[in-house]
Structure 1
Amino acid sequence: MLVLKDIHKVYGKDSKRVEALKGISLEIGQGEIFGVIGFSGAGKSTLIRCVNLLERPTSGEVFIDGVNLQHLTASQLRKERKKIGMIFQQFNLLNAKTVFKNVAMPLIIDGRPKEEIEKRVNALLSFVGLSDKAKQYPDQLSGGQKQRVGIARALATDPHILLCDEATSALDPDTTQSILALLKKVRDELGITILMITHEMNVIRDICDKVAVIDGGVIVEQGSVLDVFSEPQQEITKNFVRTIINDAIPPTIKALIKEKHQENDSMYLYRVLFKGQSTHLPLLSTIAKRFPIDVNVIHGTITELQGIPFGHLIIEFQGEPSAIEQVLSYIRQQEVTVREVDIHGA
């Protein structure tokens, strides 16, 4: 388990003082894939470097499996860091060394026996799908293959935690998906906890169990991926989510809605959110049959988050206010979220 308690990081002094992190607290459970997302300069990379004390927090505490890293001696910290693997955006491979030697490097530095190193490296190369590349050099590899080498190297010392600093940002979409699949394999088969630092919301959607949004050195929102994607609270989170799930009403439809409302004041607009089993309900069909109102779907999307279906609809209801209230009550009884949309602000 990884626990961060009230982490602050300050650079410089007086007029040049910059507070990069302002009281970050996170708790990441064993075997979780936890994502931290934010724009450039939000404090993401500083945060991940504080986890293994490559950057020492100005204040606050970092616990790995209950051990407070700040309380360790230099030799104890070196030993504890073996529990923390790290992969990077630009791979950070040694171009003068073969793939085998790149993966073996942490074990060589640790003074492991030659036979152990050979067995361990060959097993890791097989695990990441690069057994046939052992004698090649990084310049002979594709970007995805280089990142696989980076992952194998990070796993060499049997870490409990894997830190991923923008690990897919330099890769094309197809290669990104293959690397994310490999990281899921790392978690599922090896039980390793993964902390993902990224600015790509699709990475959060496709691999993470939980997510925290960082802005200006502060965690502004966090929770399960399903909860944060389906009902984002902060504007920055809504902007990130819209890169994956566009819940904004198109401008031409907005104009038509406003024009119709001027002609018909019995028109009401609602945002309806479906999760899990509720996505299978014939909700709109039942409403149209049971209540004296007209139903019109204005806009909507259906997707899947962590294997759970999620739907978002903008629906127009036309009818008497009493009938609309009955409809809203019925929808909520089905454990479906419904909120009124301001037609003028739509």
Structure 2
Amino acid sequence: MAAIPLLVCDDSGMARKQLIRALPADWPVSITQAANGKEGLKAIMDGLGQVVLLDLTMPEMDGYQVLQMLKANAIEAKVIVVSGDVQEEAVRRVTELGALAFLKKPAAPELVLETLQQLGIYDPRPAGSPLHAEIDRPEFKVGFRDAFREVNNVAMGQAAALLAKALGVFVQLPIPNVNIFEVGELSMALADIDQGQRLSAVCQGYIGDGIAGEALLIFHDSEVIDIAKLLGIEHLDNELQEQELLMDLASILIGACLSGIARQLDVRFSQGHPQMLGQHCAIGDLMHVNKSRWKKTLAVEISYGIEGMRIHFDLLLLFTEDSVKRLTDKIGHMMD
């Protein structure tokens, strides 16, 4: 029986590893991997993607663009989207573009099997049958940064879905950045957020199972009025009302992100109450006042955007240096 050309298209090596592991062991497929949409589209056009497992948030060309190109050029491929972006609007859009199914990350093997069977793509063969074949699984070496970025990618998608529902918008998702910074380097990395504007920031601490840190959510003051209007608030009468609005949004985003990380790593975080870290100030002032709180840190940078509006939120998850070993152990356990 000829092997089915299967393309797994995702910028994360960890995501590709998880997905390939979730495939039925006896499915006769020839696996090709692509690390972005541009590579993936070329593989499909080269005949290597009769069946495609496609991520949405990728560099070069994202999953939406791949689907648009397939549709525009009448290229036949059976596409199943596997994504951390679980907004209802994301599901609607990819279905409209021709995706046959949508699976949320990380995709459980039983759900992958059920989906493949429902679509008529996979037909299980009894063991010992001459048509029974064992899938050839490639070897993977996934580094800590790639794996932890994927954990945060899934978590941020869950947070975006809650934010989208609360504001009635479509949230544009970035690729998270994961870096280890000294506090001075962190200040430099945050300089792009400033751009000469006044900012307000909310922070929230968390700790659990040997992992600790602080989440920092940064708002541009010029965008706060527009955010309020999305929530049906026409006027912010005073700074206290503005603080309450920002802390409510922080609770949604930070809480959902931490919850998503905790579920994947099998930990439980205790979270402090959100607090205003600073209001109507420059990023340099925020960092100067709080530099004693952050020394060397593992930083995850996520910038959410609202489609069609000049609104975005910059979320930083700052893990203590002492947390890195525990995070490494947890991620290693996930990949075993």
The TM-score range, normalised by the shorter chain, is under 0.3
> What TM-score results when the alignment is normalised by the length of structure 2?
0.25
> What TM-score results when the alignment is normalised by the length of structure 1?
0.24
> Which structure shows the bigger proportion of residues in strand conformation?
1
Larger Rg: 1
